[in-house]
């Protein structure tokens, strides 16, 4: 009899512990993001570009759990199940400047178009630059 009471008590405690777990909290809304990555100079698609997404916390720091997508030959990538909130998006592709930007995800379907630019000429201290040359009068001074 005593063991029967103990068994019933254990079962009751197990049910009491399981009730909060079974009660689902209201699920957070999720969004579908559709990315299109194109070239800035001619609006042609960039294939096989890496689209990296990181959630951003309230302080503006990106969290560790990120996700990487690859674009199709049409320059498109999409992902379903993105929670609402701030999202940091980076796009990397060979031969293009890396793109980075923050987006506020607040709609069920979002279309994001990203234009990638070609790298600009790099500045070197070993090359002559027109802005650094002394005026012509100073160059012709006798020493």
Domain 30-116 of CATH type 3.30.479.30? no
Per-residue pLDDT 10s for the chain (143 aa) are: 667 777 776 776 666 666 555 544 457 789 999 999 999 999 999 999 999 999 998 888 888 888 999 999 999 999 999 999 999 999 999 999 999 999 999 999 999 999 999 988 877 788 876 765 555 555 555 55
Q: Tally the residues of the chain.
A: 143
- Which residue shows structure tokens 């400047």? 97
Question: How many Å apart are CA 88 and CA 61, to the nearest integer?
Answer: 9
Q: What was the pLDDT predicted at 14?
A: 67
60 Cβ partners below 8 Å, 6+ apart?
A: none
Instruction: Compute CA distances 36 → 40, 44, 49, whole Å.
Output: 12, 10, 10
Q: What was the pLDDT predicted at 135?
A: 57
Q: What was the pLDDT predicted at 24?
A: 46
């Amino acid at each position: 009899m005593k063991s029967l009471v103990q068994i019933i008590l254990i079962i009751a405690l197990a049910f009491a512990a399981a009730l909060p777990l079974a009660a689902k909290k209201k699920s957070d809304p999720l969004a579908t993001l559709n990315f299109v990555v194109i070239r800035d100079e001619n609006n042609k698609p960039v294939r096989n570009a890496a689209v990296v997404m990181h959630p951003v916390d309230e302080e503006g720091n990106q969290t560790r759990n990120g996700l990487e997508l690859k674009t199709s030959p049409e320059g498109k990538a999409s992902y379903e199940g993105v929670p609402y909130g701030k999202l940091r998006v980076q796009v990397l592709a060979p031969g293009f400047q890396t793109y980075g930007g923050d987006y506020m995800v607040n709609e069920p379907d979002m279309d994001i178009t990203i234009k990638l630019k070609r790298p600009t000429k790099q500045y070197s201290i070993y090359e002559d630059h027109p802005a650094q040359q002394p005026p012509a009068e100073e160059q012709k001074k006798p020493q």
